[in-house]
Amino acid sequence: MHKVTLSAEFRATLRERRNGREHVFNTIDPMCTALLVIDMQNAFVAPGAILEVPLARGIVNNINRLATHLRSGGSPVIWIRSTFAKTGPESFSVYFDNFAPGDNGEDIRANLYEGTEGHAFWHELDRHDDDLVIDKSRFSAFVDGTSSLDKKLRDRNIKSLVVTGTLTNICCESTVRDAMMLDYQCIVIEDANAAQTDYEHLAALENIARVFGDVITTDDFLKTLAYG
């Protein structure tokens, strides 16, 4: 996992902006909270995979710890996976045609078709039969029409989201940005998210902490975040 963390200077800036508080969400209601685990699929986690994020293998233990903790309080655990279609409105053409063009884009898409090995969740994750699985066809799971996540959360009266997975600066950050603007309280677990580089990981955490959600370590979440 990443060893970098928010700097003391940055944390001081947060406290100054927040009237002495480093975190804005100090309590959560477990019955109104969900754990989101984003894109921890073979295509991202497996050694040698087309979208491999090597550091993602190092966050599996923390994700499992969080899942156990949150389930014990009655919070749903939601596994979110990238699932692309060959054609039609879910084809994500602007991304694949311009940012992953040619054979690379086709290979990425083919590795995330339903039923493929790349589409499957990484085998070391502690998934339970009664956990939810949500498919998404965009980086953010809250893009209208491309995921059922928002409806599933509102049906369960979920107000707070604990966000983990990969990549910190792409799908995780995109999901958190949209979630906050839909009035969800977001708590991002810094050592249960992973990016390609420390620089990208830390930049995303700083973006999130400024205006989109709280950033906290697994240990601090488990030890200090009280249920309201």
CATH code at position 57 = 3.40.50.850
Residue 101: inside a domain, yes or no? Answer: no
Query: Which residue's structure tokens are 């209208």?
Result: 144
Q: pLDDT > 90: what percent of the chain?
A: 84
Residue in 136, 172, 186, 191 annotated catalytic: 136
H helix or E strand, kind and range, residue 35: strand 33-38
Q: Determine whether 178 is an active site residue.
A: no
Residue 105: inside a domain, yes or no? Answer: no
Kindly tell me if the per-residue pLDDT of 122 is higher than 60: yes
Kindly tell me if the per-residue pLDDT of 101 is higher than 80: no
pTM: 0.95
Residue 93: inside a domain, yes or no? Answer: no
Residue 110: inside a domain, yes or no? Answer: no
Maximal CA-CA distance, the chain: 51
> pLDDT value at position 90?
62
From residue 207, alpha-carbon distances to 28, 169, 213 in Å are 22, 9, 9
d(CA 105, CA 139) in angstroms, rounded, equals 15
Residue in 29, 131, 135, 171 annotated catalytic: 171
Q: Determine whether 171 is an active site residue.
A: yes
**Residue 228 pLDDT grade (very low, low, confident, very high; cuts 50, 70, 90):** low
Q: Please enumerate in sequence order all residues whose Cβ is within 8 A of that of 185, keeping only pairs 6 or more positions apart, or say none.
A: 25, 28, 159, 160, 161, 213
Q: Determine whether 186 is an active site residue.
A: no
Residue 106: inside a domain, yes or no? Answer: no
> pLDDT value at position 224?
74
Residue 151: inside a domain, yes or no? Answer: yes
Q: How many structural domains compose the chain?
A: 1
Residue 157: inside a domain, yes or no? Answer: yes
Contact 74, 67 (CB under 8 A): no
d(CA 50, CA 33) in angstroms, rounded, equals 33
H helix or E strand, kind and range, residue 82: strand 77-82
From 43-47, 91-95, 193-197, the region with the lowest mean pLDDT: 91-95
Q: Which domain holds residue 76?
A: 8-84+122-227
Residue 33: inside a domain, yes or no? Answer: yes
User: Reading across the β-sheet that carries 185-194, which strands appear in turn?
Assistant: 132-136, 77-82, 33-38, 160-166, 185-194, 214-216
Residue in 3, 29, 32, 39 annotated catalytic: 39
> pLDDT value at position 88?
62
Kindly tell me if the per-residue pLDDT of 226 is higher than 60: no
From residue 48, alpha-carbon distances to 42, 43, 55, 118 in Å are 10, 9, 13, 11
Contact 193, 215 (CB under 8 A): no
pLDDT in tens, 103-121: 888 899 899 999 999 999 9
